[in-house]
Amino acid sequence: MIKINKEDSIIDIIIKMNHEKEDKVILEFPFWHPILHNQTSLRILKNNTKKKDLVIITSDKTAKNIGKKLWIKYSLTSNEDLIDYNYTYSEYLRYLLKNYFREFKNFFLFQKEDNLQREIKRKIQQNNGKIIFFLITLFISIALLIFVFYFAVNKTYVYIKPEMTVKTVWKNLVFRELKSDSAIPANNEILLKRIDKLIYVSQTFGTSWIDESNAKRSRGQVTLYNLFPEKVRLRPNTRISTIDWLIFTLDKSIDLPPASSDGWANIPGKKVAWVQAATHGINGKIIGSRWNIEKDTLMNLPGLTEDKDKIYAKSIADFSGGDDNFTKVLSEQDIENAKKIFEAKLKNEALNKLKEQIKLDNKNNNVNYEILLLPTQKEEYPPSTQYSDMKIHGIEDLKIGDEMENFEFKWSIKITSFTYNTKEVLNHLSSVIKWALLSEIESIHEIDEKSLRIAYVIKGNTAPYSIKATAQVEAIYLHNFLSSTNNYVEKLKFTIAGLKKDIAHNILLNNPKISDVKIETRPFFMENISSLPKNIHFKVIEY
């Protein structure tokens, strides 16, 4: 039999197997050995036994289910009968009872049937003492098995996954501009590298105006209705709109007669007029075939501030003439709008391009520098990023009225900023974490480097540039359940000892330090946690 240590790798195990001279390779594994749960590793062990039988001795029920698919034999002990017959205590009990019954049967029925009773009587007389001894031995064996099942082997294994706790760790640091390559930072000081870079940014904009002399606009007749009790005059180019903001204008001024009454209801005054599509809708869209509205389309006057329902219009017939084949031209409004849009995003575009350049330099030089980005701060503190020398290139080549679908703006801007080595900042923060860590109670699972940030600015100077600021990072803590000096696990053992598994499961899940829990009992049919705390074993499931 080969005894496997907890730290043995698969290479170590194969070396031990190659020195085995027996016809059967028996490997005794400690509980929860990683190889037992890896099907590929088990397959390699199986293949290395060649023509020999492979038997694994373990109490790990999960490992047994994995290995059985590969036709690997399992046992709880190195007992030959258990290995040959099976490996559970319950089946071993059945095995013993079968043997006892077979011996008892052979003892009485080894003679021919006609001499059976005579032989039984003679054997009973001759072997009365042996039978009594046999029965006493059988009773003691069963009693010992019951004792082992219910008392000696009644163990509970609790697998817990600790709950993560996120804490913010901070430290005040001085970020100082590097003036000499040989400068050595003082304690709690981070050196900054100044960057002056000219950034070029370009963007394409579409024109939104048309050559009205060549535009084909929709045209048609409408009936205008007046519900006011007096005459209303509408001037030329008065706007009339559909409910989806298609704009038309009157060709000339008209007088709408007042409304009248038949004694029951008001009868609106009405008049027919010609209208033509405007060059643009209220939403800025250029005219086109969409302005060819259908007959009986309801329209209103968007210029009315009050009593908007008192004057309205309705198309007499389908409108026609609108065409999508119009010529776009550059207007002064297009250029002004483009300037406003571009200036608003120019600084962000320049900063993003600088970030991309720094990211590429980090990759090529195997370093980790970031731009010093400060939070919203008071005006007296110097900004970490400044912009200057903003210029537009190529605008002199753009002429108002030129036919074009779109045009391009090119800008240049000088950006001045500072970068720092994030690893140096993280080293300072890691020292804070280690000093504050309660080593016997908690452990660090991970430091989220992406959460590193400058949270507050305390003070600053301009020449040379320096600021005192608070750096922060998020750290993920786990409760250290397996600490030798931490008696928290012992308290949990006494809390769940003797309880039913489902009740103990709920109690542990309600513990704020535990994220998930799984409970296994030995033997498997036991529904209660072991009543002896020393037989309750806690194991931590790692993330």
The band of 46, judged by pLDDT with boundaries at 50, 70 and 90, is confident
Q: Is 219 within 8 Å of 276 (Cβ atoms)?
A: yes
Find all residues with CB under 8 Å of 297, minimum gap 6, and list them. 242, 314, 315
The band of 295, judged by pLDDT with boundaries at 50, 70 and 90, is very high
pLDDT at site 86: 45
The band of 87, judged by pLDDT with boundaries at 50, 70 and 90, is very low
* Tens digit of each residue's pLDDT (9 = 90 or more) over 478-518: 888 877 776 888 889 999 998 999 999 999 999 888 989 99
> pTM for the full model?
0.51
* Tens digit of each residue's pLDDT (9 = 90 or more) over 129-158: 556 666 777 777 777 666 655 555 678 999
- Please, which residues bridge with residue 478 across strands? 443
Consecutive H or E run containing 362: helix 332-365
**Rounded percentage of the chain residues whose pLDDT exceeds 70:** 82
Residue 36 CA: distances (Å) to CA of 14, 32, 56, 61? 14, 7, 9, 10
* Tens digit of each residue's pLDDT (9 = 90 or more) over 100-119: 666 666 655 544 444 555 55
SS3 301: coil
* Tens digit of each residue's pLDDT (9 = 90 or more) over 321-344: 877 677 777 888 888 888 888 887
R_g of the chain computed on alpha carbons: 45
Kindly tell me if the per-residue pLDDT of 80 is higher than 60.
Answer: no
The tokens describing 122, both together, are 């003679």
- Please, which residues bridge with residue 199 across strands? 413
pLDDT at site 533: 87
Q: What is the mean pLDDT of residues 151-169?
A: 84
Q: Break the chain into its structural domains and give their ranges.
A: 2-87, 93-152, 193-206+331-418, 212-326
Q: What is the mean pLDDT of residues 36-44?
A: 81
Distance CA 401, CA 329 (A): 5
Supply the mean pLDDT for the chain.
81
pLDDT at site 25: 82
* E strand residue ranges, 142-284: 155-162, 165-177, 189-206, 209-210, 219-226, 232-234, 239-242, 247-250, 254-256, 260-261, 266-267, 269-277
pLDDT at site 47: 79
Distance CA 50, CA 57 (A): 19
